[in-house]
Amino acid sequence: MKFLKLVFIFCISIIVHSTLYSQEFIGDTIPIDEVVVTGSKQYRSAGNVTQKIDVISSKTIESSIMGNNNIAEILSQEPGSSVAVLSRNDANWGTYSGIGPKYSTYMLNGLPLDAFMDPMSLDLRAIERIEVQRGPASVLYPNYLSQDFAGNQSPLAGTVNLILKENINNRESVLQTKYGSYNTLNTQAYHQNVKENVNYFAGINFENSNYTNYGSEGSWLNMKKDPNYQKLKVFAGANLFYGNEKNNRLGVFLNKTRQQGDAGRVYRGFDYDYTTVNITQSAEISDKLNFQSSVGVRIYDRTWQESIYNNVDSLVSTNGVKQNIIPADANLTWKHGKDNLLTIGADYQNAEYYTTTDPLVGYNLYGNKSRAFQTGLYAQEELNIGRLTARAGLRYNYIKTNIELISGGNPGEPETEYSNFLWSAGLKYRVQSNFTIYTNAGNSFLPPGLKSMGGTLKLNDKGVPNMNGQLPNPDLKPESGIAIDLGTNLLLFENLNLSARGFLMQVDDAIIDIRISETPSQSQSINAGKTKSSGFEIETSQQVRNFLAWFVNYTYMKTSVENNEDPDQNGAEVPFAPEHVANAGISLETGFGLQFRPVLNYNSGYYDSTSKSGRKKFTPGVVINLYASQILAENETFSINFLVEVYNLTNNKYKMPWQFQDTGMAINGGLRILFK
């Protein structure tokens, strides 16, 4: 930790010393009209925030291939991320900056979401753009109290902010239908309009698929037929602008997703029901003061069947998980001096978590049952002094958990309280109009989630055939982390962008999921000791002409676990964290209406556990996706596009942990009709 502090102090001293010799404000290397909201909770020029923030536009989103219909797959082309979506029915277990899947949170207009479930449920038609902040974001944004999957989530490595459509300038209706591999039929309808001072949109998305066997040879999934699923998404949003139309707004958004089907056997059915609500308000008190508030509802309700595989399968139980989470935030921003910004605010979360099982006795039995409460107070100051932008913030967190049941029994400690201070700071210096350097640092604190402590199985289920799930570990300790980055942006001739970022993160008592058994499929959360991740990202991109753009990026991640109490883990790599990741892509639009976008992703491979004696390595290698569309007819009122989406062009059926396997090449084709 002394090394981190020395590096950060050294960067500060260099930049501050340079600032003494220049007080002229110079724009950033990013286009001057590019604005971001994630780093400050207010729309700011990208040149006036210290963090590295990528903006994925709606145009890029539309031409991105998601083989498993997971928003996380769009991020796979960004530096620093490695995506590992197990199937269309399962979550992403990839890593962010090598430190694990739960250290980069997801948000919807600044309110936290679940990094595992919501990327599977939200519809991209409602999203205007995606902002990806690389580097610590733990002051302005809180942990997310998701108790499921890998447990609670922290923005130590960054955050992903899904920005909803707000300013709608024209009426537009879209009808789209696609058909392709695995008898997959996807149909979408979308409409947006503006009437006086109200902007609104609504949509529906239905998909039906026979799918295919996504288990590797001999997998515990034991599929006897093609798994079937149906997924329905219904969403709507509206924004009311009042007074000063630019800064006074009330927004409402609702998304409902229902997914039903089976996992390839008669008694392996599932039913997932997700509800997402966002209500946001912004009011301009004066030219200098702005007040924002937001509240949300996240309801996750999942049930699935467990069965014994035989010539004639027999049902063992129907299991369920339900989470109700209410996040809220209120903040006041004060613009002072020359483009300086002070932000103060408070946020709140209330979370309920239940697991149930119906062992064919006619009623549900509770396994885990708990409530969690979190509140935070935060303040951040951003100063622009000549060529220097300086940022510093502080957060106070209070967390309380009340556990009624754990693995069906009384907990050892029914109530636990945590309180801590978090900090974050950053600097950006504009050496020249086309060259900037920046550095950021911050820390985090994360208590264990209930699934990590209580599991979905009982401890004596370890190794029992057909008992698939997570074993409990009630002795887990909370974890704390620190992160620092240092980077540079350079804009050369012909819109050629070059950038590089180095990062270093360390988490003490890191909670990670390890594989205990493959048959049955069982995992367990453990405190892995001191977990470290260091590395760098290099990227270049260019908008050559209006019709041609390309990008290339590479990320190196070196991860390690220091556990002096267990030699089998000491020196192991972090699960799901590859050492090398690279991406490349080209976007071409011709004058006769053809759009063509191939993207290549390379992943050098990762392990499934920190146990050096029992772990396995999985090597995805190269995956190439291709999007193409051609305008068939177009006039002032409508256009018709023919589109083709090819996932995994080379049919690379690489294996993944827990006996999952990529399904290989999938092709979808269809029509998009746009009414203007």
pLDDT for 449 equals 74
The CA distance from 79 to 535, in Å, is 11
User: Residue 195 — pLDDT band, cuts 50, 70, 90?
Assistant: very high
Residue 147 DSSP symbol: -
- Select the more confidently predicted residue: 359 or 439: 439
Cα–Cα distances (Å) from 360 to 60, 103, 366, 456, 471, in that order, read 49, 38, 14, 17, 22
Q: For residue 416, what are the contacts with CB-CB under 8 A and spacing of at least 6?
A: 400, 401, 403, 447
User: Residue 527 — pLDDT band, cuts 50, 70, 90?
Assistant: confident
The CA distance from 364 to 660, in Å, is 30
pLDDT of residue 18 exceeding 50 = no
3 state DSSP class of 599: strand
What percentage of the chain carries pLDDT values higher than 70? Answer: 93
CA-wise closest residue to 406 among 417, 397, 420, 416: 416
**Per-residue model confidence as pLDDT tens digits over 28-48:** 334 444 788 999 999 888 878
Q: Residue 260, Cβ neighbours under 10 Å: how many?
A: 15
pLDDT of residue 112 exceeding 70 = yes
- Select the more confidently predicted residue: 4 or 577: 577
pLDDT for 361 equals 65
User: Residue 471 — pLDDT band, cuts 50, 70, 90?
Assistant: confident
User: Residue 470 — pLDDT band, cuts 50, 70, 90?
Assistant: confident
pLDDT of residue 577 exceeding 90 = yes
The pLDDT of 202-215, averaged and rounded, is 96
pLDDT for 565 equals 72
Q: Residue 105, Cβ neighbours under 10 Å: how many?
A: 28
| Residue 612 domain boundaries | 2-675
pLDDT for 474 equals 74
The CA distance from 146 to 324, in Å, is 9
Q: For residue 247, what are the contacts with CB-CB under 8 A and spacing of at least 6?
A: 282, 283, 284, 290
pLDDT for 311 equals 72
Cα–Cα distances (Å) from 354 to 253, 358, 645, in that order, read 26, 13, 39
CA-wise closest residue to 601 among 576, 626, 628: 626
Could you check whether the bond before residue 472 is cis, i.e. omega within 30 degrees of 0?
A: no
Cα–Cα distances (Å) from 495 to 47, 48, 130, 147, in that order, read 16, 20, 22, 45
Cβ burial, residue 140 (10 Å; 0-12/13-18/19+): buried
Q: What are phi and psi of 364, to 5 degrees?
A: -85, 145
- Select the more confidently predicted residue: 515 or 170: 170
What CATH number is attached to the domain comprising 628? Answer: 2.40.170.20
pLDDT of residue 585 exceeding 80 = yes
pLDDT for 584 equals 97
Residue pair 557/579 in contact (Cβ under 8 Å)? The answer is yes
Picking from 5-19, 72-86, 155-169, which range would have the lowest pLDDT averaged per residue?
A: 5-19
Contacts 24+ apart (CB under 8 A), 210-213: 210/182, 210/183, 210/184, 211/88, 211/182, 211/184, 211/261, 211/663, 212/181, 212/182, 212/663, 213/264, 213/663
**Per-residue model confidence as pLDDT tens digits over 636-669:** 999 999 999 999 999 999 999 989 999 999 999 9
The CA distance from 443 to 434, in Å, is 31
* pTM of the predicted structure, to 2 decimals: 0.90
pLDDT for 31 equals 47
The CA distance from 132 to 76, in Å, is 12
Picking from 69-83, 239-253, 325-339, which range would have the lowest pLDDT averaged per residue?
A: 239-253
pLDDT of residue 505 exceeding 90 = yes
Domain count, the chain: 1
User: Residue 412 — pLDDT band, cuts 50, 70, 90?
Assistant: low
pLDDT for 176 equals 97
pLDDT of residue 360 exceeding 70 = no
Hey, what are 352's tokens? 């309920």
Residue 15 DSSP symbol: H
**Per-residue model confidence as pLDDT tens digits over 306-316:** 888 877 788 88
Give the number of residues written for the chain. Answer: 676
**Per-residue model confidence as pLDDT tens digits over 53-108:** 999 999 999 999 999 999 999 999 999 999 999 999 899 999 888 888 889 999 99
Picking from 3-7, 69-73, 132-136, which range would have the lowest pLDDT averaged per residue?
A: 3-7
pLDDT of residue 146 exceeding 80 = yes
The CA distance from 416 to 408, in Å, is 19
User: Residue 564 — pLDDT band, cuts 50, 70, 90?
Assistant: confident
End-to-end CA distance of the chain: 57
pLDDT of residue 109 exceeding 60 = yes
